[in-house]
Amino acid sequence: MGLNQDIKVAVDAVVFGYESKGNLSVLLIKRGVDPYKNSWALPGGLVLENESLEAAVKRELKEETGVKIDYLEQLYTFGKPKRDPRNRVVSVSYFALVKPNHFKIKADTDADEAQWFPVSKLPKLAFDHKTIFNTAEKRLKGKLLYQPIGFDLLNAEFPFSDLEHLYATILGRDIDRRNFRKKIKSFGFVEETNKMHQEGSGRPAKLFKFNKKKYDALVDDGFHFDIKFV
Q: Look up the pTM and report it.
A: 0.89
Residues listed for the chain: 230
Three state DSSP letters for 51-77: CCHHHHHHHHHHHHCCCCCCEEEEEEE
Query: Do residues 187 and 227 make contact, with C-beta atoms less than 8 angstroms apart?
Result: no
What confidence score (pLDDT) does residue 67 get? Answer: 84
How confident is the model over 186-207, as pLDDT tens digits?
A: 999 999 999 987 776 678 889 9
Q: At 120, is the secondary structure helix, strand, or coil? A: helix
What confidence score (pLDDT) does residue 185 get? Answer: 92
Task: Give dist(CA 224, CA 21) in Å, integer.
Answer: 28
Which residues are part of the catalytic machinery? Answer: 113
How confident is the model over 103-155, as pLDDT tens digits?
A: 677 766 556 688 899 999 999 999 999 999 999 999 999 999 999 999 999 98
DSSP state of 47: P
Question: What is the phi/psi pair of residue 18, to 5°?
Answer: -145, 130
How confident is the model over 202-224, as pLDDT tens digits?
A: 788 899 999 999 999 999 999 98
Which residues pair with residue 11 across a beta bridge?
45, 92
Residue 46 pLDDT greater than 70, yes or no: yes
The candidate with the shortest Cα–Cα distance to 14, out of 138, 124, 112, 111, is 138
